[in-house]
A and B are shown apart, each in its own frame.
Chain A
Amino acid sequence: MTDSTPSGSGANTPVRTRLDRVPMTPSRAWIVGATLLLAPELGALLQFVAGTLPVGEAVVAATDRIPVLLSRETIPNRGTFVPGNGWQGTFLGLSPAKAWGLRVGLIYLYGAVLLYWLWRGYLLYRNRYRTASWTPFDDIVRRFRGHRWGQFGLIVVLAFLILAVFAPALGPTTLDRNVIDPYSHELEYYDDGTGDVETVTVGAANIDSTSQGIDDRNVGPLTYDQYDRFHPFGTLPSGQDLFTQVALGARVSLFIGLVAITISGVVATGLALISAYYGGRIDLGIVLVSDATQSLPQLLVVILLSVVLSQTWIAGLYSGGVLLALIFALTGWPSLWRAVRGPALQVSERTWVDAADSYGLAPRVTMRRHILPYIIGYLLVYASMSLGGIIIGVSGLSFLGLGISPPTPEWGRLVNVGQPLLTTVSWHIAVIPGVLIVIVVTAFNALGDGIRDAIDAETDLDNEEEATAAASGAGG
């Protein structure tokens, strides 16, 4: 054994040297990069998991202590302006607006880098590790890269995604502090009268920072209230911060949309495969069930079910979000199924499906390997467009006072709160959430358009008709 570096001395060599000995393959480099990227936010991830799962208070408290890079603790935006001394308590003594802006900017930068790293990972897999040198998916990606409108959609959808995922860290304050329990939290401010720093509860401060439609009772977008709190989107008539609620509302919308579309997508794909493969009576049966489901106007069924099930335990999960997601999944699958049934029928008539059958493959395998890959793209198109429709539907219900119950914020309810003040100086309450809905839904439609054009350059009207109905959210 004349090895120059005996393994026994490994513990004494610096980490750096030991790492050098590990051959740095591209995949290892990528994994190291991903780990480095994830590490600063690991605490937030664990907090979220601990908060969602029933693991007990101790674990939740333990995860709360893990430092997180992009959090309001690291970059605080809450401070007190003391004349002569500048801002106290904020990050580097910046003004709250700048500190908040910095945090938002950094979070978005972090999100962008993370997504870019995932994209790099995909490229790495494609160039280095995938056995096939070309798959049809490469062409879809290539065509999408030339589709500006689709890319616009993708970017806005990703920005919405980051808003929803990082909602608690993005808001200038927290829901618990600002809305749920404002009288248990205190804040410090500089009182001109006494010339000293005073303390007041958040609840009392909220009463002085309301937006009620008259000039001296209004905290508009990008302004401070008299307690030096910065409100990027202004305040609500109750004095609560609008941006905090908008960010958390994005989370609810995205959650309901994704859960509903995933369930109905899986059901729709399964049924489309079955009706395309077997055809005949089975197909007719599914047609009948889907027609029956569609004969019930979606929005009315959602209203009916959300009222009837409002007293059950499931309505208590996520302030009714889980229930709404299930209802939208239950009523939404027929339109998705109709959209993918056509392509599935076309593929099922191809010779390779016959070949697979005569080769003796089990029907399930034939469906999964030889039909499914061709319809998954169509599914994505309609899923993207229906997602916008679901977001509209949920906010419409909340606007009516059904749907998501307080204190969980929802965009539609914010519009409802702001409606009476729309023609006054407090216009921001109803306008900002509404404009955001329009932008997000437009983006999901644009993304759907982009994927459709990327899959198949030719547009056929029959499918478009189905998609446009889905995109309009059943009249919400």
Chain B
Amino acid sequence: MNRLLYLFRRLLLSIPVVWLGVTATFLIIRVGPLNPAAAIVGPVNSAQAQERLARIEEQLGLNDPIHVQYGEYLVDLVTFDLGQSWVLYPGQDTVALLVQFGPRTIWLGLWAVLIPIFIGIPLGIYSGLHVNTNRDYVASITGIVWRAMPNFWLAVILLALLSQTDALFFGSGWESFIVETPLIGAPDLSGLGTPEGFVVATKQILPAAFVLGSASMGNELRLSRTAVLEIINEDFIDTARAVGVSRWRLIGKHVLRNALIPLIPVITSEAYLLVGGSVLVEVVFGINGIGTLFFDAMTSGDLPLAGSLMFVFILLTVSINIAQDLLYTLIDPRIGYAERQ
């Protein structure tokens, strides 16, 4: 019951957060120095363009007083009426665009979360168990440098390396390894149901996901190492060892289970990195997902579309935040509901 109450309180608190975020977006786009209608039309040098500018201003409601605009804007967002694209895909509904572009970003994000979990955490645990050995130093320093690497640069380097791997991957290059896939471009998600389609889509997304997950991988390596170090010095580990618990059982049951507690919220909190990083990684790898959509909308002056996408991102980060806090209380009941606001 207490947990339900906590969830309720958390949801209630997220309303003003979303409202503030949305208001900030509104202020930037509508009150900022760049007129959205002018950005859509581009340079106004003919009577025709002038007329079009006036028409779009009318359609966007830019001639209304600012408080009326603000009211309409809020009502539209609450009813999830996200408007349409003006420049990039003229006339297309934003929700339809989200449905079309979203799955590719979700597919990318999913693998970007999974890869660090399966590489970063085991490496960190390995480091923690062999602390202050050369193996630990190599793993730790790799993690530290890995974390400092900018996504865009890693993406550029990885693309260059993969295009030069004719000798690796059992005699064939990366592109023809197992299944034939191009290095750059969006994965085809239509065949996900079939085994072959799944393999193709996965292989196609792996380099991009590897880059997007790189920062998280470094973080998880570091944190799992620290967590193992903290647990391994606890008294109950000494006791278990004294009682004669075998090494593997000790690691599996007593160390890992406790060390994972602080890690799970860390994984969710990296959603921030994924959302921001998706823009750069998608642009470099030529994946037309939501990140590319946002970037193209911004560079082509499609401000209404960009504003609506921002609203979606706000909802996304806020709900991930709530999920993270809930997970915290579920995993570790010692953490009080009152303490984490």
Contact = CB atoms under 8 A, between A and B. Distances in A.
A468 B280 contact: no
A388 B303 CA distance: 30
Given A461-B226, A461-B227, A465-B266, A295 B18 contact: yes
A37 interface: no
Given A303-B295, A422-B160, A438-B145, A464 B276 contact: no
Contact of B276 (A291, A298, A423): A298
Interface string A428-446: 0011001001110110011
Given A303-B279, A468-B147, A297 B272 contact: yes
A296 B24 contact: yes
Interface in B192-227: 212, 215-216, 218-219, 222-223, 226-227
B149 interface: yes
A438 B148 contact: yes
Given A308-B32, A459-B226, A300 B276 contact: yes
A402 B299 CA distance: 9
Given A292-B20, A465-B269, A474-B272, A434 B156 contact: yes
A474 B276 contact: yes
Interface string B1-33: 000000000000110111111001100110011
B88 to A, nearest CB: 14
B149 A304 contact: no
A300 B277 contact: no
A399 B226 CA distance: 34
Contact of A469 (B16, B273, B306): B273
Interface in B284-341: 294-295, 298-299, 303, 306, 310, 313-314, 317-318, 321, 341
Contact of B156 (A293, A430, A464): A430
Contacts of A298: 272, 276
Contacts of B218: 468, 472
Chain A facing B: main interface SS: helix
A155 to B, nearest CB: 16
Contacts of B20: 288-289, 292-293
Nearest to B277: A475
Most buried by A among B16, B227, B303: B16
Contacts of A293: 20-21, 24
A396 B148 contact: no
A59 to B, nearest CB: 33
A305 B317 contact: no
B150 A300 contact: no
A296 B310 contact: yes
B275 interface: yes
Interface in A272-316: 284, 287-289, 291-300, 303-305, 307-312
B17 A474 contact: no
Contacts of B230: 461
A244 B269 CA distance: 40
Contact of B28 (A291, A297, A308, A431): A308
A295 B222 contact: no
Nearest to B18: A295
A475 B298 contact: no
A121 interface: no
Given A295-B17, A400-B280, A434-B156, A475 B33 contact: no
A402 B265 CA distance: 33
Given A311-B33, A464-B223, A304 B306 contact: yes
A476 B276 contact: yes
A308 B29 contact: yes
A402 B280 CA distance: 12
Contacts of A430: 153, 156-157
Contacts of A476: 150-152, 276-277, 280
B33 A296 contact: no
Contacts of B277: 299, 474-476
A296 B21 contact: yes
Contact of A461 (B24, B164, B223): B223
B318 A295 contact: yes
Interface in A385-408: 388, 392, 395-396, 399-402
B144 A445 contact: yes
Given A295-B314, A471-B147, A308 B215 contact: no
A304 B310 contact: yes
A395 B150 contact: yes
Nearest to A392: B150
Contacts of A294: 272, 317
Interface string B155-197: 0110110011000000000000000000000000000000000
Interface string B226-253: 1100100000000000000000000000
B145 A442 contact: yes
B93 interface: no
A473 interface: yes
A57 to B, nearest CB: 31
Given A292-B17, A307-B299, A476-B152, A469 B272 contact: yes
B28 A305 contact: yes
B313 A297 contact: yes
B87 interface: no
A260 B314 CA distance: 23
Contacts of A303: 279, 294-295, 298
A422 B151 CA distance: 16
B287 to A, nearest CB: 15
A412 B152 contact: yes
Contacts of B14: 291
B90 to A, nearest CB: 19
B314 A296 contact: yes
A212 B54 CA distance: 48
A88 interface: no
A294 B17 CA distance: 9
A56 to B, nearest CB: 30
Nearest to A399: B152
B34 interface: yes
Given A434-B150, A464-B226, A475 B215 contact: yes
A415 interface: yes
B17 A291 contact: yes
A437 to B, nearest CB: 6
A207 to B, nearest CB: 26
A419 interface: yes
B273 A400 contact: no
A419 B156 contact: yes
Interface in A351-387: none
Given A292-B24, A392-B150, A430-B157, 13 more contacts: A293-B20, A295-B318, A297-B313, A297-B317, A309-B32, A309-B34, A437-B149, A437-B150, A438-B145, A445-B147, A465-B265, A469-B219, A474-B273
Across the A-B interface, give the 5 residue pairs with the lowest CB-CB distance, nearest first.
A475-B277, A475-B276, A292-B20, A299-B276, A472-B215
Interface of B: 13-14, 16-21, 24-25, 28-29, 32-34, 144-145, 147-153, 156-157, 159-160, 163-164, 212, 215-216, 218-219, 222-223, 226-227, 230, 262, 265-266, 269-270, 272-280, 283, 294-295, 298-299, 303, 306, 310, 313-314, 317-318, 321, 341
11 contacts: A288-B13, A291-B14, A295-B18, A296-B25, A304-B28, A395-B152, A422-B156, A465-B265, A469-B269, A475-B215, A475-B280
